[in-house]
Structure 1
Amino acid sequence: MKDFFEALRIQRWDDHRYYHHCRINQSLHFLSAMAFVVAYVLLFIDPPLAALLAWLVSMTSRQAGHFFFEPLGYDEVNQATQAFKEDIKVGYNLRRKVVLLSVWALLPLMIFLNPGLFGLLPTHEDFYGFLRAVGYAWLYLGAGALLFRTLHLFILQDAQTGLVWMTKILTDPFHDIYLYHKAPLHLLRGQRFAHQDAQVSR
C-alpha cells in the first residue's frame, strides 16, 4: 500500500505541476470539482441527472481550462516541452481528450436521430426523455472511458499504474477543492499564473 500511495502522490504532483499553471484553469477546476461532488451525490439519487451535471458543468469547465487558458508552449517552470508532457501523461492527454470529447458531443445527435440508440438506451418521446437518454449515454461514456484507460494502462505499464490512475481520477474532485480553493482569490490579486506567487512574495 505504501508504494500505491507514493505512486498516487507522484501522479497527482505531475498533473498539477505540468498542467495547472494558470489560475483561471485552477479556478475552473475548483468549479468543476464542486460540481463533481454534487454529481457524486446525485449518482445515488438520479444517475442521468448526475451525468448531465458532470459533463455539462464539470467536464466543460475543466477541459475549457486546459484547452483555452493553460499555456501550451515550452514550460519554463519545469523545463519541459509540450510534446514531452503529452508523451508522459498517464491518463487522457489533450489528443486523447479531443477524441473523447468528440464522442461526447456526437452522442446527443445520434440519440436524436435514433431514439433508443439500437436498444441501448430508453426511447424518448419528449425533450425531457431525450435529456435523460443523453444523461444515461454520457454516464456510460464516462464509466467506459475510465475503465478503458485503466485496462489500457494495465497493458501498457502495469496493474498498479492503472489502479492508481483510476483512484486519482475518482478522487480528483476532493483533491482539486483542497488544491485550488484559493485560486479565485489569487486571480483577484492579479496573479494569473502560479509561479507569480513567489515573485510577489519576494
Structure 2
Amino acid sequence: MKDFFEELRVQRWDDHRYYHHCRINQSLHLLSAMAFVVSYGLLFIDPAIAALLAWTVSMTSRQAGHFFFEPLGYDHVNQATNDHKEEIKVGYNLRRKVVLLSIWALLPLAIYMNPGWMGVLPEHETFFEFMRAVGYSWLFLGAAALLFRTVHLFFLKDVKTGLVWMTKIITDPFHDIYLYHKAPWQLLRGERFADRSLHANP
C-alpha cells in the first residue's frame, strides 16, 4: 500500500506541474471539482442528472482550461516540450481527449436519431426524457472511458499504474479543491501563471 500511495502522489504531482501552470486553468479546475463533488452526491439520487452536471459543467470547464488557457509551448519550468509531455501522459492526453469529447458531443445526435438506442437507454418522447436518456449515455461513456484507460494501462505499464490512475481520477475533485482553492484570488491579484510554485513538490 505504501508503494501505491507513493505512485498516486507522483501521478498527482506530475499532473499538477506539467498541466496546471495557468491560474485560469486552476480556477476552472476548482469550478469543475466542486461540480463533480455535487455530481457524486447526485449519483445516489438521480444518476442521469449527475451525469448531465458532470459533463456539461465539470468536464467542459476542466477541458476548456487545458485547451484554451494552458501554455502549449516549451515548458521552461520542467524543461520539457509539449510533445514530450503528451507522449508520457499517463491518462488522456489532448489527442485522446479530442476523441472522447467528439464521442460525447455526438451521442445526443445519435440518441435523437435512434430513441432507446437498441433497448439500452430509456425511450423518449419529451425533451426532458430525451435529456435523461442523454444523461444515462454520458454516464455510461464516463464509466467506459475510465475503465478503458485503466485496463489499457494494465498492458502499457502494469496493473498498479492503472489502478493508481483510476484512483487519482476518482479522487481528483477533492484533491483539486484542496490544491486550487486559492487560484481565483491569486488570479485577481494579477498572478496569471504559477511557474514559481511548480518548482516545489507540495
TM-score of the superposed pair, with normalisation by structure 1: 0.97
Residue 44 of structure 1 is matched in structure 2 by: 44
> Percent identity among equivalent residues?
79
Q: Per-residue deviation at 1:20?
A: 0.1
Task: Name the counterpart of 2:79.
Answer: 79
Gapped regions of structure 2 (runs ≥ 5): none
- Contact 1:51–1:135 (CA<8 Å) still a contact in 2? yes
Equivalent residues, number? 198
Shift of 1:117: 1.1
User: Offset of 1:195 from its aligned partner?
Assistant: 2.1
Matches of 1:30 and 1:48 in 2, distance apart?
23
- Cα RMSD between the aligned structures? 1.0
| CA distance in structure 1 between the aligned counterparts of 2:197 and 2:96, rounded to whole angstroms | 32
Secondary structure of 1:194's aligned partner:
coil
Q: Could you report, residue by residue, the CA deviation over 1:55-108 in whole angstroms, capped at 9, with x for unpaired residues?
A: 000000000000000000100111100000001100000000000000000000
Equivalent residue number for residue 124 of structure 1: 124
Where 2:118 maps in the other structure, the secondary structure is coil
Match of residue 94 from structure 1: 94
Match for residue 53 of structure 2? 53
In structure 2, the residue matched to 1:143 is: 143
Structure 2 counterpart of 1:129, one-letter code:
E
Q: Point out the more displaced range, 113-122 or 61-70.
A: 113-122
Alignment partner of 1:193: what SS? coil
Within 5 Å, which residues of 2 pair with 1:1-202? 1-195=1-195
In structure 1, stretches of 5+ residues that fail to align are none
Contact map agreement 1:191 1:197 (CA 8 A) in 2? no
- Does the 8 Å contact 1:32/1:62 carry over to 2? yes
Code of the residue aligned with 1:88 in structure 2: it is: I
Q: 1:187 deviation in Å?
A: 0.5
Residues 49 and 132 of structure 1 are in contact (CA less than 8 Å); yes or no, is this contact kept in structure 2?
yes
Q: What CA distance in whole angstroms lies between the structure 1 residues aligned with 2:75 and 2:33?
A: 25
Question: For the residues of structure 1 that align with 2:78 and 2:196, how far apart are their CA atoms?
Answer: 14
1-structure distance, mates of 2:149, 2:180? 26
> Counterpart of 1:110 in structure 2: which amino acid?
A
SS at match of 2:167: helix
TM-score (norm 2): 0.97
Three-state SS of the structure 1 residue aligned to 2:45 is coil
Structure 1 residue runs of 4+, over 3 Å off?
none
Structure 2 SS opposite 1:91: coil
In the alignment, is the contact (CA less than 8 A) between 1:11 and 1:165 conserved in 2? yes
